[in-house]
Amino acid sequence: MKKRSRRFNTLLKEVEENKLYAPLDALSLMKSLSNANFIETAEVHIVLGLDPKYADQQLRATVILPKGTGKTIRIALITTDDKTQEAISSGADIIGGEDLIHEIKQGRLDFDKLIATPDMMVSIAKLGRILGPKGLMPSPKAGTVTNNFIKTIEEFKAGKLEYKIDRNGILHVPFGKSNFSIEDLYSNLITLQQSIDKNRPQGSKGKYWKTTYIATTMGPSIPLDINLLRESHL
């Protein structure tokens, strides 16, 4: 069992047991408990009533957070030589074609997101073992395989992110930073909740949202009343 620090145990005492917090109260408490010596990421962890071993219960989608993620991401773009001029104006941090594919094969992974045009996917497929485990493999579902890469890069730079359930049916999604205002975190959280509901898989049966917790990187989890979050913007 992982040993908790004295700092963490002190913070944990501030979270009431067996209480589901209203969204604004939860966000206020989360911010007040953020005392690490760096700007922490605000995360939401959601247990959904999904079994990812079934194809019709998979959940993978993208959402544009209105207040951004607070993170500066490096984007790599792989496209053909004839689109190089257009690619230069796209805002991508790294641009290449077969040369970049070769560099990735040799171990280059100094980027957070990889976007590719469809005509390069045959060549990129051989990088599956390298990119797959790191969640960097471009895919149409994630919006990272596209010919409209200028718009796509703008969206990801502005706060677009991909989310998908893990093998246990749980979502782990960053929705801002500890230095965001409560209002901005709230706006991002609502947008994420609406996206998850909108993209509910067809095979989902019974209760969809089971438990929802928010936390900062180094802080304790705070249970959130998801029904109150829904009702707040109906």
Q: What topology does CATH give the domain 75-157?
A: Rossmann fold (3.40.50)
Closest CA to 56 of 205, 207, 202: 202
> What pLDDT, on a 0 to 100 scale, did the predictor assign at position 232?
67
The tokens describing 58, both together, are 């998979």
Tokens 């990812």 appear where? 52
Partners of 224 in the β-ladder: 21
Q: What is the mean pLDDT of residues 173-200?
A: 96
Task: Delimit the domains of the chain by residue range.
Answer: 19-69+160-231, 75-157
Confidence of residue 85 (pLDDT cuts 50, 70, 90): confident
- Report whether 225 contacts 79 (CB < 8 A): no
Assess whether the region 19-69+160-231 and the region 75-157 belong to the same CATH fold: no
Query: Is 96's pLDDT higher than 70?
Result: yes
H-run or E-run covering 114: strand 113-116
Which CATH number among 3.30.190.20, 3.30.460.20, 3.40.50.1980, 1.10.1050.10 corresponds to the domain 19-69+160-231? 3.30.190.20
Cα–Cα dist 130/147, whole Å: 23
Mean pLDDT in residue range 101-109: 95
* Contact by Cβ (8 Å): 76, 115: yes
Residue 213 forms beta bridges with which residues? 45, 223
H-helix segments, the chain? 6-12, 23-32, 84-88, 98-105, 121-124, 128-131, 149-158, 182-198, 226-231
* pLDDT > 80? residue 154: yes
6 burial level (CB within 10 Å; 0-12, 13-18, 19+): exposed
What is the pTM assigned to this prediction? 0.82
Question: 59-73, 78-92, 106-120, 181-195: lowest mean pLDDT where?
Answer: 78-92
Residue 203 pLDDT class (50, 70, 90 cuts): very high
**Which amino acid is residue 98, in one-letter code?**
E
9, pLDDT greater than 90: no
Whether 17 shows a pLDDT value over 90: the answer reads no
Question: Residue 80 — very low, low, confident or very high, per pLDDT cuts 50/70/90?
Answer: very high
What pLDDT shows up at residue 138? Answer: 95
CA distance 13 to 32: 13
Is the per-residue pLDDT at 29 higher than 80? yes
Helix, strand, coil % over all residues of the chain, rounded to 5? 35, 20, 40
**CA–CA separation, 223 and 181 (whole Å):** 20
Residue 233's pLDDT is: 62
Across the chain, mean pLDDT equals 91
Residue 199's pLDDT band (boundaries 50, 70, 90)?
very high
pLDDT over 80 (residue 8): no
pLDDT of residue 26 exceeding 70, the answer is yes
N-to-C CA span, the chain:
42
